[in-house]
Chain A
Amino acid sequence: MSDFRVQHASWSSRIGTTIVVLAFVAFAAAPWWADRANLRLLSEIFAYVALASLWNLLAGYAGLVSVGQQAYVGLGAYVLFGLAMLAGVHPLAAIPLAGIAAAIVALPVAALIFRLRGHYFAIGTWVVAEVFRLLAAQTTALDGGSGTSLPAAVVVSIASSRQMREFTIYWIALAQVAVVLFAIVWLLRSRYGLALTAIRDNELGARSNGVDVARIKYCVYVAVAFGTAMVGALIFLQKIRISPDTAFSVNDWTAFVIFITVIGGIGRIEGPIIGTVIFFLLRQTLADLGAIYLLILGVVAIAVMLKAPKGLWGLIADRYGWQVFPLERRLVINKR
């Protein structure tokens, strides 16, 4: 037997990782080169990359096609508002607490909806999100269905000047997306990444090879709820205002997220990033067209699904074998 080694990086991942690191540095410096509107736009883009990456982990890898992730966006946001307004917790400290609360809620929710399979699971997740929305609408302490705004005292506690508040929230949004992407790369590089990728490709094969599919799905569901809620909490901290309909919007937090993931490339870590870029390019150029904009989104989604069912990155990766992050396990045999 000859010598061998297993390498993760390839020339494409070296280029890709370099670009990602440079982009991170450039974005971290954005308060010095971008205006207020662009900073807000960038934080929104970061939030969508994070949400779509988390949904991709859930649906693309673990095969859990949830259409109810708005449940955790809204839950995280409401926990933040509740802690900040009713318990006097510092709003930035409330972000991780919102994630923990969502993970705790996700434990019994997962136990319940995991009894459903396939389409029924998808519908079940939506029902759960609707139940959360109705509960939020019944929460009189946060002004029920009409929603509420963060009091000035809470807002000022983030930072005293308006500019510093905006910078702080922007940097947290950037940190969130960086942590989400890093965590997913780390997960996929680990033993559990192997299992998740195997589940993505063939659940029966994975089970027959000793992968505890049910347990891994459960863990992924709870971890994704944790991340999604923290992203949701920050989104609404930036908006300052919350209502059940905006916080639990299936359109904003699930439909667009699925669009992004599917056109970018489901089941690939690069997919949600590419998808978000395309989504925002379309939105920024076409948003003035009103309803026609949504029609165009639909046409783009259908065209991509027909022409590139694995999404745009799927097309590229299949053709050129590129990877942005060093994920593959390449066996290199050194013949002696």
Chain B
Amino acid sequence: MAGLDPAIHVLLRMQGVRRGCRHKAGHDRVLEPMSAILTLEKISKRFGAIVVADDIDLTLLRGEALGIIGPNGAGKTTLFGIVTGTVPPDGGRVVFKGHDITRMKPEHRCRMGLARSFQIPQPFDGMTVFENLVVAAAFGGGRSERDVYAGCAGLLERCGLADKANRRAGSLTLLDRKRLELARALATGPRVLLLDEVAGGLVEHETAALVDLINDVRATGVTIVWIEHVVHALIAVVDRLVVLHGGALIAEGEPAEVLRRPQVNEIYMGIEERRMGADA
């Protein structure tokens, strides 16, 4: 702990205490520019012969919204797994808020402020929608159960689940399960929110409501990384876009500009057109 830049030290401690996270001794504290909140350094991962992460370097700035697109099997979801700790990388480092978290357990990363919504929702089926949120808020947020009730009730309303508060999560439709997935990630009080295809299957006005919600979240200072095939929703939120293909970042930059690149069009836009055709 000693010997650090005092400002960073104080900041990290404040966040740690407020969020109730316990920084493990022995984790390397790495100094980095104040603006970076999450850094991937030379992340590699393969499943057998398939390379899903090929020396990926990516830096996420505090408060930004980053979009990730790429064809199926490009390694997008695996990248989220590596960041949140459910998939161990073969090589490289993950640095979050100045800590090397490469070997940290998912639950500790969550308590540090790293929340994720799964592409396939992972609700607690036997618990009510409200109880699902209470779990996320009490444990992910490191707070006592009673303290989170009000926040969870409010979050239900924001996510359009207020009238289903006491329904068992297992009885929800897919759309509501997706809403719950997002609500649970928000309930943990994240600093960085990782969204995995939350807009898939939504109709137009639902997508618009989702975009509003994510923009609201972002306005509170939460950094966002969003994997999405519904590109028009994505570019309504993000200010930077990366394209993942075969485990490698093949393009990065301002969204509209990235989407205009011929290489990106070639490997990606076919999928988008097909999706839009299927939605219509």
* Chain A interfacial positions (CB closer than 8 Å to B): 1, 4, 6, 190-191, 194-195, 197-198, 200-202, 204-214, 267, 328-331, 333
Does B166 belong to the interface (CB within 8 Å)? yes
Which residue from chain B places its CB closest to the CB of A3 in the assembled complex?
B153
The verdict on A1 contacting B122 (CB below 8 Å), with A210-B111, A211-B107 known, is no
Q: What number of residue pairs across chains A and B have CB atoms under 8 A from each other?
A: 116
Interface CB pairs A-B, < 8 A, 28: A1-B154, A4-B149, A4-B153, A194-B131, A194-B139, A195-B135, A197-B124, A198-B127, A198-B132, A201-B125, A201-B127, A202-B122, A202-B124, A204-B86, A204-B118, A205-B122, A207-B107, A207-B110, A208-B115, A208-B116, A208-B118, A209-B135, A209-B139, A209-B184, A211-B139, A328-B131, A329-B128, A331-B153
**Which residues 177-218 in B have Cβ within 8 Å of A in the complex?**
184, 187-188
Rounded to whole Å, the gap between the CB of A74 and the closest CB of chain B is 33
One of B84, B125, B162 near A208 (C-beta < 8 A): B84
> Can you name the residue of chain A whose Cβ is closest to the Cβ of B116?
A208
Identify the closest chain B residue to A215 (Cβ): B107
Mark the stretch among B56-64, B140-148, B233-241, B242-250 that contacts chain A: B140-148
Q: Is the CB of A6 within 8 A of B149?
A: yes
Contacts of A197 in B (CB 8 A): 124, 126-127, 131, 135
Contact between B126 and A210, CB atoms less than 8 A apart? no
The chain A residue sitting closest to B19, CB to CB, is: A210
Contact of A194 among B106, B108, B125, B145 (CB under 8 A): B145
- Asked whether, in the complex, the Cβ of B139 is within 8 Å of the Cβ of A208, the reply is no
Find chain A residues with CB under 8 A from B142 CB.
Answer: 210
Closest to A310 in B: B126
The residue on A at minimum CB distance from B126 is A201
**B positions within 8 Å CB-CB of A:** 84, 86, 105-108, 110-111, 115-116, 118, 122-128, 130-132, 134-136, 138-142, 144-145, 149-150, 152-154, 156-157, 162, 165-166, 169, 184, 187-188
Q: Tell whether, in the assembled complex, residue B166 and residue A330 are in contact, meaning their CB atoms are under 8 Å apart.
A: yes
- Which of chain B's residues has its CB closest to A211's CB? B139
Q: How far is the CB of B139 from chain A (nearest CB, A)?
A: 4
Contact B162 A194 (CB under 8 A): no
B176: min CB distance to chain A, Å: 16
**Minimum-distance CB pairs A-B, first 7:** A210-B140, A205-B122, A201-B124, A210-B110, A210-B139, A209-B136, A331-B165
Return A86 CB to nearest CB of chain B, in Å.
Answer: 44
A214: which B residues are within 8 A, CB to CB? 105
Q: Mostly helix, strand, loop or mixed at chain B's interface?
A: helix
Q: Would you call A213 and B131 a contact (CB within 8 A)?
A: no
Contact for B134 among A194, A200, A206, A333, CB less than 8 A: A194
Residues of chain A within 8 A (CB-CB) of B145 are: 190-191, 194
When C-beta atoms are compared, the residue in chain B nearest to A5 turns out to be B149
Residues on the B chain within 8 Å of A207, using CB: 86, 105-107, 110
Q: Which of B115, B116, B130, B156 has the most CB of A within 10 A?
A: B130
Q: How far is the CB of A322 from chain B (nearest CB, A)?
A: 13
Query: A267: which B residues are within 8 A, CB to CB?
Result: 126
Q: Which residues of B contact A204 (CB under 8 A)?
A: 86, 118, 122
Instruction: Decide yes or no: A205 and B188 within 8 Å by CB, A331-B165, A333-B153 being known contacts.
Output: no
CA distance A204 to B81 in the complex (A): 11
Q: Which of B86, B115, B124 contacts A198 (CB 8 A)?
A: B124
A204→B80 CA distance, assembly (Å): 14
Q: How far is the CA of A73 from the CA of B127 in the complex (A)?
A: 32
Query: Which residues on the A side are within 8 Å of B116 (C-beta)?
Result: 208
Residues of B contacting A329 in the complex (Cβ-Cβ under 8 angstroms): 128, 130-131, 134
Complex-state Cα separation, A202 to B118, whole angstroms: 13
Q: How far is the CB of B22 from chain A (nearest CB, A)?
A: 10
For the complex with contacts A209-B187, A210-B142, 11 further pairs of A-B residues with Cβ separation under 8 Å are A1-B153, A198-B124, A198-B132, A200-B124, A202-B123, A204-B86, A208-B107, A208-B116, A212-B108, A329-B131, A331-B128
User: Which residues does chain A contribute within 8 Å of B156, judged by CB atoms?
Assistant: 331
CB distance from A4 to the nearest CB of B (A): 5
Q: Taking each of A197, A202, A204, A333, which has the highest tally of chain B beta carbons within 10 Å of its own beta carbon? A: A202
Q: In the complex, are the beta carbons of B157 and A1 less than 8 A apart?
A: yes
Of A202, A210, A212, A333, the contact of B141 (CB 8 Å cutoff): A210
- Write the nearest CB–CB distance from B140 to chain A, whole angstroms: 3
CA distance A219 to B188 in the complex (A): 24
Inter-subunit contact B128/A210 (CB<8 Å)? no
Cα–Cα, bound, A209→B189 (Å): 10
Q: With A210-B139, A333-B162 in contact, do A205 and B110 touch (Cβ < 8 Å)?
A: no
Known: A195-B135, A210-B136, A331-B165. A205 touches B124 (CB 8 A): yes
Least CB distance, B18 to chain A, in whole angstroms: 14
Q: Which residues of A contact B128 (CB under 8 A)?
A: 328-331
Check B135–A211 contact: CB distance below 8 A: yes
Q: How many angstroms from the CA of A205 to the CA of B187 in the assembled complex?
A: 13
Q: Please report the C-alpha to C-alpha distance between residue A201 and residue B126 in the assembled complex, in whole angstroms.
A: 6
**A205 vs B136: C-alpha distance in the bound complex, in angstroms?**
9
CA distance A301 to B230 in the complex (A): 48
Enumerate chain B residues within 8 angstroms of A206, measured Cβ to Cβ: 107, 124, 135, 139
Question: Is the Cβ of A212 less than 8 Å from the Cβ of B107?
Answer: yes
Considering the complex, give the chain B residue whose CB is closest to the CB of A267: B126
Complex-state Cα separation, A331 to B108, whole angstroms: 28
Q: Which residues of A contact B165 (CB under 8 A)?
A: 331, 333
CA separation between A204 and B77, bound complex, in Å?
15
A211: which B residues are within 8 A, CB to CB?
Answer: 107, 135, 139
